[in-house]
Amino acid sequence: MSNASTNELEDRFPWPDAVEVPEECEGWEEMYPRYFRFGESPERSELERDRFWFWDQKDSPTPLCPWDITLCVESIAMQLSQAQSRVFAVPPAMGIDLRIIAGYSYATPVPCTDPDLLEERESVFGERSEYIYNNFEALYEDEWLPAVKEIGQEIRDLEVPDRFPEYAPEEVVFESKGLHSETVDVQSNYNRLQELTLRGWQRHFEYLNLVYLAYLSFKRTCDELFPDISDNAIGEMVTGLETDLFLADTVLNDLAHQAVELGEEVPEILTSAADPDEKLDRLEETDAGREFLEAFKDAKDPWFHITVSRGYHSEEGSWLDTLEQPFEHLDKKVQALQENEEIRRDLDALQEDRQRVVDEYRGYLDEEERAQFDQAHQLVLDVYNYAEDHQFWIENWLHTIIFEKLDEFGELLVNHGLLETPRDITLFGRNEVPELLADLALVWSQGKGAHIPEYWAEEAEKRKRILDAAKEWSPPPALGEPPEEVTDPMVVMLWGITTETVQNWLGSTQEEDSNEIDGFASSSGTAEGRARVVKSGSELSEVKRDEILVSPLTNPDWTPVFSKVAGAVTDNGGATSHTAIVCREYGLPAVTGTGAATSNIQTGDRIRVDGNTGEVEILERAE
């Protein structure tokens, strides 16, 4: 890499080992393993400076708690990389490298550039990928999904006491059980939780690369056969999917319909200003309410195992923690039904539209070309559900179970005075928690009145302050010297990062307060309306019908809100991002990967979204 721009910061981003972090974040390095920190040795720093790193705003839009990097940084770096480099030998890809700065994750793809190694890997990849593609449905239904559910159930079955007893049970003495083993069992069960978490993430990436490669292969086929085809038209040919991720919204729709059909006070209670606990209490008072509650409780597992912030941020919890999210969605859905509005997505219409687009493009081809197109298209239809299904079963269902079990360990520590709140356990890395549990065992072993160390709670408070300060910081969007052209297809499709995006970050092509914003044309159609800027799931209740959602990126738990908005605009994400997929499924125009929408657009601005061209225009500023 050329160092010509070393002293020309406007031509590059800060070097990875020279980023200036706010003083209030001092000590952040102690919170994360050294293998995820920049600049740990001169040789490593030289390697890091020779790569281009981008802030992974898709997965760490806010700083990650130390334990949470197990799910995000560590599992992505290890499992994605081994899937690409060691398991399927994806020819040009050796995985991804990740680092952390003050809780924010930075990523860089690791390519394979050795011609001999590329040739060797092609034969390995060809044989293994062909087997998966030919047997995908059976592998998913008979192997993958049961294995994920088994991991979740084993985590649930791990025993964690609320607290250790005052004295060991009598059977320890009278049945010769070798003293009280519960303190050892707790540490053993925590270690098993770590193992199961990592095994779950091995399932996460088991087929994901092949699914995205199938989409990429279809895209390349389309680009070759139809040089002027848009990414949006390609996306339309894989809409109308029946994925598990959308079933959470489907279940809410069914509950809303049931509430209206039951009548009496059920709709009134669901649309009232009462909090979830009050609504539950009031529903218990009538036969109709109790019938609704039975269906509501049946839906919780698995469909309410939806994490509020993409599954990686423990502090925001899940639908099960407070029930505010599902009740807010039910409120809006019941109101819509009372106004005779349709809340279900029209799957038949979506599939008809998909077939119409497919037939149109097939009509331009000769017989040989049509066979090539059909093969690539059928492959992506066969496997693409996994792109969304894995998000539900791993990042939502399994992560919810993991966080629930972590809370049990946290509750044990709280009950013995080592921590203030159960979720404080996530302020410590997964490899630090065993030390915490060992300290607890030591305290308990010394009997009533033993000194309880204050340093764990003090360290937790210190780390909270650091993370709070990091939330107020705007980290650089990228690090190092940018490439002349961004060519990695995964970076473009998933993160929405293009050469133009990088130049915008450098400030060379986009004005701060521009009324025109460009991005990916990710879902066709146009819409005009008032913007609603939403930066976290806690703000979803403020979204009003027919507003245009503007956000850094959308999360799976936001899916129900798409039934009432008129369109979506995001800072991040490409043509295969969650936002793009969901908007196509709901028939909404979407522009993704704008880089600056949430900076330039304010709630109340009247905007126009063109999902055909990727253009967003601010028509009128809010007063």
pLDDT tens for each residue of 265-303: 999 999 999 999 999 999 999 999 999 999 999 999 999
240-249, 371-380, 552-561 — which one is most confidently predicted on average?
Answer: 371-380
pLDDT of residue 599: 85
Say whether 582 sits in a helix, a strand or coil: helix
Q: Is the pLDDT of residue 129 over 50?
A: yes
Contact 595, 510 (CB under 8 A): yes
Residue 510 pLDDT class (50, 70, 90 cuts): very low
Q: Is the pLDDT of residue 211 over 80?
A: yes
302 prior amide bond cis, ω within 30:
yes
Residue 595 pLDDT class (50, 70, 90 cuts): confident
Q: Which two tokens stand for residue 450?
A: 């033993």
Q: Domains of the chain: which residue ranges?
A: 13-131+474-479, 244-338, 511-620
Please state the three-class secondary structure of 327-370 as a single string.
Answer: HHHHHHHHHHHHCCCCCCCCHHHHHHHHHHHHHHHHCCCCHHHH
Alpha-carbon span 208 to 75, nearest angstrom: 14
Percent of the chain as helix, strand, coil, to the nearest 5: 55, 10, 35
Alpha-carbon span 363 to 368, nearest angstrom: 12
pLDDT of residue 35: 96
Kindly give, in sequence order, each residue whose CB lies less than 8 Å from that of residue 110, ignoring residues fewer than 6 positions away. Answer: 81, 85, 93, 94, 95, 96, 97
CATH architecture of 511-620: 3-Layer(bba) Sandwich (3.50)
pTM: 0.92
Say how far residue 399 (Cα) sits from the centre of its chain. Answer: 11
Alpha-carbon span 49 to 2, nearest angstrom: 11
Mean pLDDT of 205-232: 94
